[in-house]
């Protein structure tokens, strides 16, 4: 049997990622909380409730967990509606809490990365039309300034916006995220405003903290044509163009091109110091006349795919390599800002994670400058419109009792973080079923 150690570069960041609304609890002043109160919006009528009770102080015990298991980084988000509860009111005590969290991470040798906007917006802002209203641009800039001023002593890595394309898709196409619309044109406007908001925030952060490293967490989804037909090729290309490329390319050349909306946004050129990549899975795409609401396309996983517990994603590490090649076109240092899977049984996760980390290792060995990896997520948390039904944590979590349960994946990830490597022993111990895939003879 072939044996080898796959080493990662010295100083590699190994962490997990979370988002305010998903972990803090009692975030009553944002658009997600409002949506949760509407019957039928969230699976099984779930509510974020106390979430992982980080606002109540349990971030401390969770950061102890991260530290004890060799993680040296953590990506989390600040909640705009706490920092600016009303358009003309700021809450310094919220910033104090975030400062305490940052200091707590530093004390545990955990390098923080802060996301300024991760899906949730204050209610006052949502009432103004949220991202679809261009007045959000100066407001997002002001919020960014206030936050960075307050926290810059403890953090240098900033993500302005998490997954603009997923926010657009969920909020304006599928209608499952706030503002729960099905209005493509308004969605595209919102996406373009995110480009502008990001550019304004980028400049503001650098004014306040010249040494800051600022990026976006781009979600790249794989789309593979299911057949050779020209119509299938066309809709597949369309998916790439609108979903994967439109936001990201605007930061490269200042041209926002999403079919029905084309704009010049020159101020966006060069507004990334690093490129963040969130990758989960890849779809087959097939032209289908009956699916007009989905751009005449059906998306599905290939037959026989290795699916996660709820069928939400397929284990597709080749897709991760494609995603990494895509993000590398920006010629920037790269952070994998999210990757993980739903698996309460903790059986699928170990092979999914190992195969993805191995794919990442291969890309690093093709000289692609990946600097860190953030696993989604540390503990189970509130999975948006899917409520508590999906379990993405290294630790399980019962939101009622707040009891955390250590999964085997924790020990595997800890072994990798500690040795800064994947070893044959780790694969043999935690996911022998993929040994031959990682060590082909
Ligand atoms: C989001 C996370 C989410 C994860 C899994 C990503 O698109 O950034 O907030 O929990 O997917 O659903």
Domains (range + CATH), the chain: 5-438 (3.20.20.80)
Largest Cα span, the chain:
66
Q: Which of 378, 200, 356, 176 is nearest to 281 (CA)?
A: 356
The pLDDT of residue 295: 87
Q: Which of 36, 225, 200, 14 is nearest to 109 (CA)?
A: 14
For residue 231, report the distance from its CA to the centre of ligand 1, in Å. Answer: 31
Q: How far apart are CA 306 and CA 186, in angstroms?
A: 36
Instruction: Tell me phi and psi for residue 214, to 5 degrees.
Output: -120, 140
Instruction: Tell me phi and psi for residue 394, to 5 degrees.
Output: -65, -35
Q: Could you please report the per-residue DSSP string of 369-396? A: -EEEEEES-SB----GGGTTS----SEE
The token pair that represents 138 in the structure block? 């100066």
Q: How far apart are CA 251 and CA 273, in angstroms?
A: 11
For residue 339, report the distance from its CA to the centre of ligand 1, in Å. Answer: 9
Q: Is residue 380 lining ligand 1, measured as CB closer than 6 Å?
A: no
Q: How far apart are CA 384 and CA 169, in angstroms?
A: 14
- Which residue of 384, 385, 386, 393 sits with most ligand 1 atoms within 8 Å of its CB, as the best mutation to test the pocket? 384
Ligand 1, closest atom to CA 166? Answer: 7
Long-range contacts of residues 428-434, Cβ cutoff 8 Å, at least 24 apart: 430/350, 430/354, 431/350, 431/351, 431/354, 433/351, 434/351, 434/354, 434/355
Ligand 1, closest atom to CA 384? Answer: 10
The answer to whether 20 and 78 are in contact (CB under 8 A) is: yes
Alpha helices, H only, 211-269: 230-239, 246-253
For residue 173, report the distance from its CA to the centre of ligand 1, in Å. Answer: 17
Q: How far apart are CA 22 and CA 49, in angstroms?
A: 10
pTM exceeding 0.85: yes
- Can you give 186-212 as a three-state secondary structure string? HHHHHHHHHHHHHHHHHHHHHHHCCCC
Q: Is residue 343 lining ligand 1, measured as CB closer than 6 Å?
A: no
Q: Whose CA is nearest to atom 12 of ligand 1?
A: 383
The answer to whether 99 and 152 are in contact (CB under 8 A) is: no
Q: Whose CA is nearest to atom 10 of ligand 1?
A: 383
Q: Which of 97, 259, 81 is nearest to 178 (CA)?
A: 81
Q: Which of 378, 310, 371 is nearest to 343 (CA)?
A: 310
Ligand 1, closest atom to CA 162? Answer: 8
The pLDDT of residue 1: 81
| Residue pLDDT tens, the chain, 441 long | 899 999 999 999 999 999 999 999 999 999 999 999 999 999 999 999 999 999 999 999 999 999 999 999 999 999 999 999 999 999 999 999 999 999 999 999 999 999 999 999 999 999 999 999 999 999 999 999 999 999 999 999 999 999 999 999 999 999 999 999 999 999 999 999 999 999 999 999 999 999 999 999 999 999 999 999 999 999 999 999 999 999 999 999 999 999 999 999 999 999 999 999 999 999 999 999 999 888 899 999 999 999 999 999 999 999 999 999 999 999 999 999 999 999 999 999 999 999 999 999 999 999 999 999 999 999 999 999 999 999 999 999 999 999 999 999 999 999 999 999 999 999 999 999 999 999 997
The answer to whether 235 and 285 are in contact (CB under 8 A) is: yes
Determine if residue 129 is left, alpha or beta; phi over 0 gives left, psi from -120 to 50 gives alpha, anything else beta: left
Q: Is residue 169 lining ligand 1, measured as CB closer than 6 Å?
A: no
Q: Which helix (H) or strand (E) holds 348?
A: helix 348-364
Q: Is residue 219 lining ligand 1, measured as CB closer than 6 Å?
A: yes
Q: Whose CA is nearest to atom 5 of ligand 1?
A: 383
The residue written with tokens 């007045």 in the block is 135
Q: Is residue 162 lining ligand 1, measured as CB closer than 6 Å?
A: yes
The pLDDT of residue 244: 98
The residue written with tokens 């503001």 in the block is 204
For residue 386, report the distance from its CA to the centre of ligand 1, in Å. Answer: 10
DSSP, res 302: P
For residue 88, report the distance from its CA to the centre of ligand 1, in Å. Answer: 31
Q: Is residue 385 lining ligand 1, measured as CB closer than 6 Å?
A: no
Strand order of the β-sheet with 282-287 is 222-225, 282-287, 297-300
For residue 242, report the distance from its CA to the centre of ligand 1, in Å. Answer: 19
Q: How far apart are CA 226 and CA 285, in angstroms?
A: 5
Q: CA of 321: how far to CAs of 24, 97, 277, 363, 420, in Å?
A: 33, 38, 11, 7, 20
């Amino acid at each position: 049997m072939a044996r080898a150690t796959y080493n990662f570069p010295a100083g590699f960041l190994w962490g997990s990622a979370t988002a305010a609304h998903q972990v803090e609890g009692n975030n009553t002043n944002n658009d997600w909380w409002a949506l949760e109160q509407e019957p039928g919006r969230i699976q099984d009528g779930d509510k974020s409730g106390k979430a992982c009770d980080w606002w109540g102080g349990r971030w401390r015990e969770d950061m102890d967990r991260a530290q004890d298991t060799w993680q040296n980084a953590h990506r989390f988000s600040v909640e705009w509606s706490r920092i600016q509860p009303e358009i003309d009111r700021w809450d310094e005590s919220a910033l104090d809490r975030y400062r305490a969290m940052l200091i707590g991470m530093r004390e545990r040798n955990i390098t923080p990365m802060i996301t300024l906007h991760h899906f949730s917006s204050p209610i006052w802002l949502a009432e103004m039309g949220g991202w679809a209203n261009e007045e959000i641009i100066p407001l997002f800039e002001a919020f960014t300034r206030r936050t960075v001023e307050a926290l810059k002593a403890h953090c240098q890595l900033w993500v302005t916006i998490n997954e603009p394309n997923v926010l657009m898709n969920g909020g304006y196409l599928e209608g499952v995220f706030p503002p729960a619309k099905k209005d493509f044109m308004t969605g595209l406007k919102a996406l373009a405003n995110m480009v502008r908001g990001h550019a304004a925030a980028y400049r503001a952060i650098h004014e306040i903290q010249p040494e800051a490293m600022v990026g976006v967490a781009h979600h790249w989804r794989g789309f593979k044509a299911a057949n050779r037909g020209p119509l299938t090729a066309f809709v597949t290309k369309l998916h790439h163009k609108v979903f994967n490329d439109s936001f990201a390319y605007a930061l490269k050349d200042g041209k926002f091109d999403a079919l029905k909306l084309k704009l010049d946004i020159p101020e966006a050129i060069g507004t990334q110091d690093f490129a963040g990549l969130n990758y989960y899975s890849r779809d087959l795409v097939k032209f289908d006349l009956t699916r007009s609401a989905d751009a005449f396309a059906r998306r599905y996983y290939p037959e026989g795919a290795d699916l996660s517990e709820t069928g939400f994603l397929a284990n597709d590490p080749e897709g991760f390599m494609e995603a990494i090649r895509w993000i590398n076109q920006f010629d920037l240092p790269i952070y994998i800002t999210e990757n993980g899977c739903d698996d309460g049984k903790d059986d699928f996760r170990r092979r999914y994670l190992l195969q993805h980390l191995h794919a990442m290792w291969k890309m690093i060995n093709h000289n692609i400058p990946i600097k860190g990896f953030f696993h989604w997520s540390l503990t189970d948390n509130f999975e948006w419109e899917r409520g508590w039904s999906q379990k993405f944590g290294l630790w399980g979590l019962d939101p009622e009792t707040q009891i955390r349960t250590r999964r085997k994946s924790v020990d595997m990830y800890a072994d990798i973080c500690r040795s800064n490597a994947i070893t044959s022993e780790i694969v043999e111990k935690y996911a022998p079923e993929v040994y031959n895939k990682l060590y082909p003879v």
